[in-house]
Copies of this chain bind each other. A is one copy, B any other.
Amino acid sequence: MSNRRTIADRTPAGFMLHCRPKVLRYTEGVKKARPFPALIDVARRAGVGAGTVSRVINGGQYVSKRTMARVQEAIEELGYQPNVAARSLKGRRTKTIGLVVPSVADPFFSVAAGAIEAVARDHGSPVLLAQSENLPSREREQITSLIQRRIDGLILVPCDGGNLSLLQQAAFPLVCFDRPFPGQPFATVLGDNYGGARAATEHLIHRGYKRILCMAGDGKLFTSQQRVRGHRDAIRDAGMPYFAELEVQDYASASDALRRHLLGKDRIDAVFCIKNLITMNAYKILRELGIEVPSSVGLLGYDDFELADTLEPPITVVRQPVVGIATRAAQLLFDALEKGKHPKGTTTLKVDLVYRGSCGEMLPSRRSI
């Protein structure tokens, strides 16, 4: 049985053809099996118009106390929850932001995601989470999906410049995080990769290490490139010879390369690891080979990690202010959204060199870069 009602029920037949007026949207008494009560249901229950309920929900300007109370009561009774999708259709704001990271399982990005969610929540916007896996095509899919959901703004760890047109068309505020957008002046927040790596290598040199192996991970990534650059410049400025073979630019061969350089002739006497997991891996290998750290070989890692201070010896690292970077990025985004000040330029946050002992330092301490 259909509860659909057309004008035919109320209009003389002759009118039908030329003048088909709007049908009443909700027919009283007919209970639609809607999962959630809608605003109109609240309105009817309180015996007021839709506009009035809307006004009550949005701060209650121009609504009498009595009406307000009645509406509030109806809202309570029905357990009314406004539909953000409908609201944003008219209002142009979804109160939702997007976050695209390579992988949330990565401790760096998971901590960042946590901090970003916290800021977003304080502003009443949940976070739509997407992972790009550092794949341009995946990134594109994810951004498209977020655009179709009309996010108010996006925090992105760009892995590719190819999606520029997508982003330009979208025209919502964008903040890049950890990496800049290739060749574009989008707002960006990141740690001082160059400075951190440079200070790290200078430290190694200063401690007397001469042949430093640089384990760079994925050489195509911006962070990796910057850190390698800092490393190279430190070597050059110290007047030391530069050896191309002492840079390992990919994950796959990293372990083998390290082993080779630790055992063959022309042995290295220090390892500079450009990322978390690489450092841990290098530590494992050094242990496995029974090489003394720091006396035979020095070890220095980029990114701090749980237990870095507990290993034997404790590992000296460059520590990025992850939460600070993430929070800053989120704040920039909400400044743009709420105060309209569109963020531009790059914010580079200082990093710390945390002395712990894997390069032969005495006491735990640190220096700000």
Contact = CB atoms under 8 A, between A and B. Distances in A.
Of A7, A127, A148, most buried by chain B (CB within 10 Å of CB) is: A148
Contact of A148 (B7, B10, B11, B81): B81
A104 B96 contact: no
A315 to B, nearest CB: 11
Interface stretch (A66-74, A139-147, A294-302, A358-366): A139-147
Contacts of A169: 36, 79
A129 B113 contact: yes
Interface string A166-199: 0001111000000000000000000000000000
A208 interface: no
A128 B147 CA distance: 14
Contacts of A128: 96, 126-129
Given A96-B128, A121-B131, A144-B81, A10 B18 contact: yes
Given A18-B11, A310-B284, A126 B117 contact: no
A265 B165 CA distance: 70
A85 B149 contact: yes
Interface string A18-43: 11111000000000000110000000
A18 B22 contact: no
Of A126, A147, A150, A169, most buried by chain B (CB within 10 Å of CB) is: A126
A74 to B, nearest CB: 15
A256 B76 CA distance: 48
Interface string A85-122: 11011001010100100011101001101110110010
Of A89, A94, A110, most buried by chain B (CB within 10 Å of CB) is: A110
A335 interface: no
B131 A149 contact: no
Contacts of A105: 110-111, 113-115
A103 to B, nearest CB: 6
B18 A82 contact: no
Contacts of A147: 36, 81
Contacts of A144: 81
A14 to B, nearest CB: 10
B310 A283 contact: yes
A82 to B, nearest CB: 6
The 10 lowest CB-CB distance pairs between A and B, nearest first, are A110-B110, A105-B114, A85-B85, A129-B129, A19-B19, A104-B114, A105-B111, A84-B148, A284-B310, A84-B149
12 contacts: A36-B169, A79-B169, A85-B85, A103-B114, A104-B104, A114-B131, A117-B131, A121-B142, A129-B129, A277-B306, A280-B307, A287-B310
Given A35-B170, A104-B114, A311-B311, 20 more contacts: A15-B18, A35-B172, A36-B150, A79-B165, A81-B144, A83-B89, A83-B150, A85-B85, A85-B149, A96-B149, A105-B115, A107-B110, A121-B142, A126-B142, A280-B306, A280-B310, A283-B307, A284-B309, A287-B312, A305-B306
Interface of A: 7, 10-11, 15, 18-22, 35-36, 79, 81-86, 88-89, 92, 94, 96, 99, 103-105, 107, 110-111, 113-115, 117-118, 121, 124, 126-131, 141-142, 144-150, 165, 169-172, 277, 280, 283-284, 287, 305-307, 309-312
